[in-house]
């Protein structure tokens, strides 16, 4: 009944007012999103809908920009700009290159 994003009025703890500067990765996702909107590959409303459709568990587990990355992937696949296979293959190669240990 209530999407994971529709949080107005729900109970929550104190606001963490400390500054947390955006990391370079986050700035890149932000810039990428802007560029793709400018070039007509995605609309703000499509992006928001994709974020809302991540579901409560995923929405509340991911950070703000991680949600953007997830939503962007969904939108680009739905529009046929990228395929799931391409993404999976590139994720594997990036992961191997970074030597990161991700789920």
* Shorter beta-carbon distance to other proteins: residue 27 or 55: 27
- Structure token pair of residue 83: 């395929």
* Shorter beta-carbon distance to other proteins: residue 6 or 55: 6
Looking only at residues 15 through 54 of this chain, which bind other proteins when binding is defined by CB under 8 A? 15-20, 22-25, 27-32, 34-36, 39, 41, 43-46, 48-49, 51-52
Query: Could you tell me the smallest distance in angstroms from the CB atom of residue 4 to other proteins?
Result: 10
Cα–chain center distance at 20: 18
Angstrom CA distances, 46 to 15, 35, 97, 99, stand at 29, 15, 32, 33
């Amino acid at each position: 009944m209530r999407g994971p994003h529709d949080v107005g009025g729900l109970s929550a703890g104190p606001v963490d007012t400390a500054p947390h500067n955006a990391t370079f990765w986050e700035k890149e996702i932000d810039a990428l999103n802007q560029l793709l909107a400018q070039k007509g590959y995605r609309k703000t409303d499509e992006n928001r809908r994709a974020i809302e459709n991540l579901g409560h568990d995923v929405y509340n587990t991911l950070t703000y920009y991680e949600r953007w990355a997830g939503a962007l992937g969904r939108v680009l696949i739905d529009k046929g700009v990228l395929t799931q296979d391409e993404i999976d293959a590139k994720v594997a190669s990036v992961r191997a290159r970074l030597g990161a240990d991700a789920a």
